[in-house]
């Protein structure tokens, strides 16, 4: 029986070679299917969709596009986003290029291309950056993601937030290296946008992408893009990518004179054909781009920092993993939770804000005084060097005369009274004023009120406001801030054609000058008002 099986197998093999057999057997069909799957299917799968974009890097103008918005597999072009976030983290103090990164089992187990990192070993961040940018090492990319965000999943969330901030509307990232994963997609347009941001947002690191080889810590590595860099004049980056699902991808940049072009190609059939297509598109870009163009660099997105969900995930993951290095891990979690700088901000140079209760009480006092003044009838006014007011008797009300001596002057605790608009100040003598004033038709008493300022007729203005309320508030704030110089003065709001002036009256020239200088030193607008 065994001999018969062997003969049948040999017959099936002969049929495959010669094509001569009277009837097909099951083993022959299996062999044919296996050969087709092993040989023909991989070649058919390599026909990845093609997409391209040509952009003038100086202003972001699109020169050529084909399927540029189709969501495709980016492969290792993904590492441009990984490195962009690393540059951002270094610039904002999350981590430094000299930080020692411990390699996890997950990072060490990533498939090629890889640097050859061993789980448990440590390496400086700068060497991981070089390996990811130049050799396109997958283990280095995963180690970078874990060093920045604690886990690759948390780092992928940050990649997506950053992509949104950059305007990459057709990209979704699932990992840091670009190996094929469901939902891990981008487009030629998005990768061109990203390449332009890498160039202009972090120019201090851009030279990495033009190095033909470099020291990656544990060994020297060569650039995966060195063929195009050597073959095309002016080329200085940026990143290659290849997987079976993606095909041969490349985002390239070249500069000639004052012109700079960025090209993205997805779905090349080989390295040579991809490079030839990129060179063709580069030539197209340099032909169509104007020689002179105003540089308009892309707007750098705001620094978003690590998200709180990433910090929470880091805490949970580390609480489930026993380790003796507890202190270092706790410090790392705190760093991941920081969303903004702790640098203290300067205090605003503004006037002190009054408590609402005090402002309300003072407003009520002012309002009551205004109502009293508005209801009073003032008919005749004369004044001496000291202020003289003729107040008519309303409904036989008698106004008592104030003592003219300084010892009976009202104290500073007396609430100031807003002067009625009909009061007239004059420098005439009492006798001249009495002769000039007509005889009153009804009984009235002349009240002489000596100013608490001792004959002071100067004032200061602290601003013009759109409403009486705003002017009164400014007077109250200023009075509280400068009690020493404004004590005893009268607050007065004057309604003019251009607004409400906030004035302090009843000051000597020296006091008014001192008050203004002190207020101006506090950035408060102030000017003196003479006795005119």
Distance (Å, rounded) from C-alpha 407 to C-alpha 272? 105
> Which residues share a beta bridge with 388?
448
Which pair of tokens denotes residue 511? 């006091």
> Contact at 8 Å (CB) between 259 and 291?
yes
DSSP labels, 304-321? ----HHHHHHHHHHHHTS
How far, in Å, CA of 448 to CA of 300, rounded? 72
Q: Annotated catalytic, 79?
A: yes
In Å, how far are 352, 471, 494 from 499, measured between CA atoms? Answer: 24, 9, 8
Exactly one of 79, 135, 174, 239 is catalytic; name it: 79
The number of beta carbons lying within 10 Å of the beta carbon of residue 228 is 22
Degrees to nearest 5, angle at CA 156 with 152 and 161: 150
**Of these residues, 76, 149, 171, 253, which one is catalytic?**
76
Mapped onto helix, strand or coil, the DSSP state of residue 253 is strand
What are 513's two structure tokens? 């000058």
Out of 104, 114, 135, 136, the active site residue is 136
Closest of 217, 266, 261 to residue 115, by C-alpha: 217
Residue 418 has a CB neighbour count (10 Å cut-off) of 16
Structure tokens at 203: 């120019």
Q: Cα torsion for 60, 66, 68, 70, to the nearest 10°?
A: 170
Distance CA 256, CA 354 (A): 63
Instruction: Please identify every residue annotated as catalytic.
Output: 76, 79, 136
């Amino acid at each position: 029986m065994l001999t018969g099986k062997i003969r049948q197998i040999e017959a099936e093999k002969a049929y495959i070679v010669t094509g001569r057999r009277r009837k097909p057997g099951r083993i022959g069909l299996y062999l044919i299917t296996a050969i087709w799957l092993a040989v023909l299917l991989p070649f058919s799968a390599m026909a990845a969709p093609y997409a391209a974009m040509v952009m003038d890097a100086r202003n972001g103008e699109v020169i050529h596009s084909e399927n540029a918005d189709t969501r495709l597999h980016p492969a290792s072009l993904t590492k441009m986003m990984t490195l962009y976030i690393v540059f951002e983290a270094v610039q904002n103090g999350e981590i430094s290029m000299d930080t020692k990164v411990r390699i996890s089992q997950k990072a060490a187990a990533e498939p090629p291309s890889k640097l050859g990192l061993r789980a448990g070993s440590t390496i400086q961040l700068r060497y991981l950056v070089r390996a990811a940018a130049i050799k396109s090492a997958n283990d280095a990319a995963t180690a970078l993601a874990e060093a920045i965000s604690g886990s690759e999943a948390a780092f992928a969330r940050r990649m997506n937030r950053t992509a949104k901030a950059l305007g990459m509307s057709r990209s979704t990232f699932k990992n840091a290296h670009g190996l094929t994963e469901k939902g891990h997609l981008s487009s030629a347009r998005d990768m061109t946008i990203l390449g332009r941001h890498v160039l202009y947002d972090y120019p201090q690191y851009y030279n990495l992408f033009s190095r033909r080889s470099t020291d990656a810590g544990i060994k020297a590595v060569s650039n995966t893009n060195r063929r195009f860099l050597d073959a095309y004049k002016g080329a200085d980056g940026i990143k290659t990518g290849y997987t079976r699902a993606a095909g041969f991808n490349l985002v390239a940049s070249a500069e000639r004179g004052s012109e700079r072009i960025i090209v993205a190609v997805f779905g090349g059939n080989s390295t040579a054909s991809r490079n030839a297509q990129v060179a063709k598109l580069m030539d197209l870009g340099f032909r169509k781009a104007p020689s002179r163009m105003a540089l308009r660099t892309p707007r750098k997105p705001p620094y978003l920092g690590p998200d709180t969900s990433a910090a929470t995930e880091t805490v949970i993951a580390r609480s489930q993993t026993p380790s003796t290095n507890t202190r270092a891990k706790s410090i790392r979690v705190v760093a991941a939770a920081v969303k903004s700088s702790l640098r203290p901000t300067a205090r605003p140079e503004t006037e002190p804000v009054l408590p609402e209760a005090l402002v309300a009480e003072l407003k009520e006092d002012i309002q009551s005084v205004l109502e009293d003044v508005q209801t009073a009838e003032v008919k005749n006014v004369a004044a001496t060097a000291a202020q003289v007011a003729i107040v008519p008797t309303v409904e036989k009300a008698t106004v008592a005369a104030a003592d003219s001596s300084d010892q009976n002057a009202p104290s500073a605790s007396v609430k100031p009274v807003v002067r009625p608009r009909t009061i007239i100040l004059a420098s005439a003598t009492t006798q001249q004023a009495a002769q000039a004033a007509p005889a009153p038709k009804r009984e009235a008493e002349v009240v002489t009120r000596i100013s608490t300022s001792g004959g002071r007729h100067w004032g200061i203005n602290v601003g013009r406001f759109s409403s009486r309320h705003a002017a009164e508030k400014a007077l109250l704030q200023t009075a509280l801030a400068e009690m020493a110089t404004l004590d005893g003065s009268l607050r007065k709001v004057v309604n003019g054609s251009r607004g409400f002036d906030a004035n302090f009256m009843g000051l000597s020239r020296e006091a008014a000058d001192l008050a203004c200088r002190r207020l101006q030193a506090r950035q408060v607008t102030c000017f003196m008002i003479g006795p005119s």
